[in-house]
Amino acid sequence: MMATIKVHGSPYSTATMRVTATLCEKQLEFELLYINVRNGDHKKEPFLSHNPFGQVPAFEDGDLKLFESRAITQYINHEYADKGTKLTISESKKMAIMWMWSEVESLHFDQAASKLVWELGIKPLFGAPLDPKIVEENEAKLDSILSVYEKRLSESKYLGGECFTLVDLHHLPSLHYLMKSQIKKLFESRPYVSAWVADITARPAWAKVIAMIPN
Amino acid sequence: MATPPPAVKVYGPALSTAVSRVLACLNEKDIPFQLIPLNMSKGEHKNPHFLKIHPFGQVPAFQDDHISLFESRAICRYVCEKHGGEKGNKQLYGTNPLAKASIDQWLEAEGQSFNPPSSTLVFQLAFAPRMKIKQDEGAIRQNKEKLKKVLDVYDKRLAETRYLAGDEFTLADLSHLPNIHYLVSSSDHEDTAALFTSERENVSRWWTEISTRQSWKNVIDLYPKP
């Protein structure tokens, strides 16, 4: 039977990996339709009709079309609530706290992390020179954000609450690149953050996502 | 008999864009609140007592019953989820999963694509002059170009739907109100205002509709008079 779920993206793009990780956690069948971002295919038709912002991933489930990885992961988790891992917390106050940390990942952590991933993780793949000023600036920002994380994780097993949720999952793609770079020291020097990284990166569903990255 | 004060507390100055986002949402849902001002020029947002509620030392912070929250968009989602079907604008965060998915999509687009260039411009054009900080012409130019590209996408979308997520006003539209308000009302920068009021037909129509909602007008009424 043809999968109704389609992801248009690149297996090594952090935002695409956010979506494929969620699909793997929920044990859902899907097709990954490869978009060659190195060729700029995400900035042209037909991809633009899937995401007018020209960014991967785009997502389809039957007639529903979506873009923005965190809107997609939320939809998948809600629509397929009874499948695979539960990636949210149902009780309304705990859910609100989870959402709050979801915004922190999206607007604080990722703003610094995505620039570092680009400079230290992606540019080397394309043979492009890195910008040391951007690395220095964002390393400092990430350092202060991780101090807040250390305190949070000393009080809560996972970032969003007592169980693994989308909040933790959303970090996995950036962590994949950052933990292979000089930035890993910011994580390894903090015991609670370090334990949390080790825990979430060891999940079997995440191993499936990494296995999709071509050599 | 005196009525008890509202249970909902929002900490921060009304004129902060992120605080305004939350107030607009509370107004749309007809939820009364207490606004507890914070004097940021005196560093009240960095004192240890406030850092317990907001570890990043930013505004707004929010308290309701026994929950404390920060991050304006998370607060808005919580307010909508808590009072979904009963109070105020029931469509604000959608009434079914498909509607909600579309709203989340455009709320993410606002946070990821619209907010970075527009909030830099808000700081440069509206706040830097008041704080007697020299404007960075390079940053203004660069971020205006980024913003124009985002607005081109919005104009195309708004030719197909009345509001961003569909044909109803939702959180996705509301989230844009504070930044655009400052960009449109900053004097000496008519060309920035024109991005929203004349240059793009559908964006202009959309801005006119969302900015004239009573819930938003009530927020601006709280801003200090010049």
Q: State how far residue B104 is from chain A, nearest Cα, in angstroms.
A: 5
The residue ranges of every structural domain in chain B are: 8-83, 97-216
Q: B97-216 maps to which CATH number?
A: 1.20.1050.10
Kindly state whether B56 is in contact with chain A, defined as any CB-CB distance less than 8 angstroms. Answer: yes
Of A78, A107, A152, the CB nearest to B97: A78
CB contacts, 8 Å: A78 with chain B: 97, 100-101
What six digits make up the tokens of B5?
């004060």
Q: How far apart are CA A186 and CA A78, in angstroms?
A: 34
Average pLDDT score over residue span A41-50 = 94
Average pLDDT over all residues of chain B? 93
Predicted pLDDT at A214: 83
Burial environment of residue B107 by CB neighbours within 10 A (0 to 12, 13 to 18, 19 or more): buried
Structure tokens at A122: 């992606």
pLDDT tens per residue across span B111-142: 999 999 999 999 999 999 988 999 999 999 99
Say whether B78 and A96 touch across the interface (CB within 8 A). yes
Q: Do B81 and A104 touch (CB under 8 A)?
A: no
Give the pLDDT of residue B87.
Answer: 83
Nearest by CB: A52 against B75, B116, B153: B153
Q: Which residues from chain A sit within 8 angstroms of residue B97, using beta carbons?
A: 75, 78-79
- Per the structure block, which two tokens stand in for A146? 């991780």
Band the pLDDT of B71: cuts 50, 70, 90.
Answer: very high
Who among B55, B69, B111 is closest to A96 (CB)?
A: B69
> Chain B within 8 Å of A3 (Cβ-Cβ)?
no
Of A59-68, A142-151, A168-177, B129-138, where does mean pLDDT reach its minimum? Answer: B129-138
> 3-class DSSP state for residue B196?
helix
- Domain range B8-83, its CATH number among 3.40.50.300, 3.40.30.10, 3.90.1280.10, 3.10.580.10: 3.40.30.10
A–B: how many Cβ contacts below 8 A? 84
Percent of chain B residues past pLDDT 90, beyond the cut: 82
As a three-state string, the secondary structure of chain A is: CCCCEEEEECCCCHHHHHHHHHHHHCCCCCEEEECCHHHCHHHCCCHHHCCCCCCCCEEEECCEEEECHHHHHHHHHHHCCCCCCCCCCCCHHHHHHHHHHHHHHHHHHHHHHHHHHHHHHHHHHHCCCCCHHHHHHHHHHHHHHHHHHHHHHHHCCCCCCCCCCHHHHCCHHHHHHHCCCCCHHHHHCCHHHHHHHHHHHCCHHHHHHHHCCCC
How far is C-alpha A209 from the geometric centre of its chain's CA atoms? 11
Model pTM? 0.88
B81 CB neighbours in chain A (<8 A) are 92, 95-96
State mean pLDDT over A138-160. Answer: 97
pLDDT digits (tens, 9 = 90+) for B174-199: 999 999 999 999 867 788 999 999 99
Q: Closest partner residue to A103 among B71, B81, B82, by Cβ?
A: B71
Whether A53 and A46 have beta carbons less than 8 Å apart is answered as no
> Is A192 in CB contact (< 8 Å) with chain B?
no
> Searching chain A, which residue's CA lies closest to the CA of residue B65?
A93
Would the pLDDT of B85 be above 80?
no
Check CB contact of B81 with chain A, cutoff 8 Å.
yes
